Amino acid sequence: MSILQEIKNAVRSRSIHVAYVDVGSCNGCDIEVLACLAPRYDIEQYGIYVHNNPREADVLLVIGSVTPQWVDKLRDIWEKIPEPKAAVAIGNCPISGCVYARRGTLTTPPVENYIPIAAQVPGCPPRPTEILSAILSVAPLIYKDYEEKHR
Amino acid sequence: MRSIVYYLREFFRPEWVRKFFFAKTAPLVAPSYFKDYPSLTGKECTQCLTCMMICPAPGAIAVLHKKGGWEPEIYPGHCIRCGLCVEACPEGVLSSGRILDVTSRDRTAFSSWYRLQVDDTLCMRCGNCCVSCPVNREVDPQLAGTGTSASDEVIMRIEGGRVTILHEEKCTGCKTCENNCPNRAIRVARMVEGIQGEEEAEA
């Protein structure tokens, strides 16, 4: 492995840029993501930065069971994110639909049907520490030795 | 000049460098009272299905037959960690956080019963519910056809051309009447009430 790649790995492990998108949830998981930004959990001390701009994001946090209005927009957002990229499903809604998965509902979970999901964080809502550790553990799987793997 | 030197020296203190480059807050662990996904305590499950009936999230819990007998299983992608199954279980099969400690200290429990309701605008007085009910059939084997009965011990019977519910408390919640009703006039609802401080609290 070249020295340049090692430097890239070291820098990338402390520079993870995150965008989050709510595709129709109760906002409980949004609040838990925002709690990660608060001083108690302080997501930025781990080198994770929330910009909410897909053009500069590495990790997309998907929250909520998918409503019909979001189906095409979610794909657009996913395509706007430059490679390498990963999507993390936050909460039960993108995994199973949770309490929205009932007869006659308009939502169409799971979110895996629309974009590839790298990691799932179950919980209704998950703890901020669970969200944090999920981002921290999924990032090296995708960004470590990216140039070596995709030469 | 000296002040500038002191100022710059501050940035070479190992403690400062470590604080600047690495995580500052201690690793955060879940507190002991956190209600995590329910885990098994090892007590024997009697397959009463109280946990499945009280669960508000669809598909979150299922009581499965494993090698050693019945056993509830929690599905993390569906469970909302409300802890109602832990509280409702009469055997204490599941545990989560300190729910079991709190319920035993406060002596709280759930009591449940079944409520029968007949919508008179939909009911066409066929008597199917009274005839199909397995409890009715046991109490009064003569009960047939029109759904009238001479016995006062049946759950329900046709009286004066309409369904009268006599003994709601005998209902076992099997919903046979609901399935046999031609126009969904009869409804069986499970009612749950939180109770505190009673000696014989059944869930």
pLDDT of residue B173: 86
Report chain B's mean pLDDT, rounded to a whole number: 86
The residue with tokens 């949830």 is: A25
The CATH number fitting domain B39-106, selected from 3.30.1460, 3.30.70, 2.60.40, 3.40.50 = 3.30.70
Of A89, A99, A117, A79, the closest CA to residue A21 belongs to: A89
What digits encode the pLDDT tens for the residues A101-118? 888 888 888 898 899 999
Which residues in chain A have their CB less than 8 angstroms from residue B25's CB?
Answer: 40-42, 45
* Rounded Cα gap, residues A73 and A65, in angstroms: 14
Choice among A70-74, B62-66, B85-89, B195-199 with the minimum mean pLDDT: B195-199
Give the mean pLDDT of B54-62: 89
Residues of A in contact with B55 (CB under 8 A): none
Asked if residue A147 has pLDDT above 70, the reply is: yes
**pLDDT single digits (tens) B77-86:** 889 898 899 9
Interface check for A120 against chain B (CB to CB < 8 A): the answer is yes
B203 pLDDT band, cuts 50/70/90, is: very low
- pLDDT computed for residue A106 by the predictor: 87
Q: Where are the domains of chain B?
A: 39-106, 115-190
- Asked whether residue A125 carries a pLDDT value surpassing 60, the answer given is yes
Please tell me the predicted confidence (pLDDT) of residue A81. Answer: 92
Q: Distance (Å) from the C-alpha of residue A104 to the closest C-alpha of chain B?
A: 14
Give A92's contacts in chain B (Cβ within 8 Å).
57, 77-80
**A40 touching B (Cβ < 8 Å):** yes
CA dist., res. B153 & res. B170, Å (int): 9
For the stretch A12-66, pLDDT in tens is: 888 899 999 999 888 999 999 998 888 888 888 888 898 888 999 989 999 988 9
Give the integer Cα–Cα distance in Å for B68 and B63. Answer: 13
For B88-126, the pLDDT digits (tens) are: 988 889 998 888 888 888 888 888 889 998 988 988 888
Q: What is the mean pLDDT of residues B175-184?
A: 89
Count CB atoms within 10 A of the CB of residue A98: 29
Residue extents of the structural domains in chain A: 3-141
pLDDT at B200: 53
Asked if CATH classification 3.30.70.20 holds for the domain at B115-190, the reply, yes or no, is yes
Spatial separation of the C-alpha atoms in residues B168 and B174, rounded to whole Å? 13
Rounded Cα gap, residues A116 and A79, in angstroms: 11
Q: How much is the average pLDDT of B6-22?
A: 85
Give the residue from chain A lying closest to B37, CA to CA: A123
Distance to chain A for B34, nearest Cα, Å: 10
**Position with higher pLDDT, B30 vs A58:** A58
3-state secondary structure at position A50: strand
Give the model confidence (pLDDT) of A62-98 as tens digits.
998 899 999 999 999 999 999 888 999 999 999 988 8
pLDDT at A21: 92
Cβ–Cβ under 8 Å, residues A119 and A150: no
> How many angstroms separate the Cα of A114 from the Cα of each of A57, A75, A94, A120?
18, 7, 11, 15
ipTM of the complex, rounded to two decimals: 0.79
> Hey, is the C-beta of B81 within 8 angstroms of any chain A C-beta?
yes
Cis status of the peptide bond prior to A125, with omega within 30 of 0: yes
Q: Which amino acid is at B173?
A: G
What mean pLDDT is predicted for residues B157-179? Answer: 87
CATH topology of domain A3-141: Rossmann fold (3.40.50)
- B70: distance to nearest CA of chain A, Å? 25
Residue B5 has pLDDT above 90, yes or no: yes
Higher-scoring residue by pLDDT: B19, A139: A139
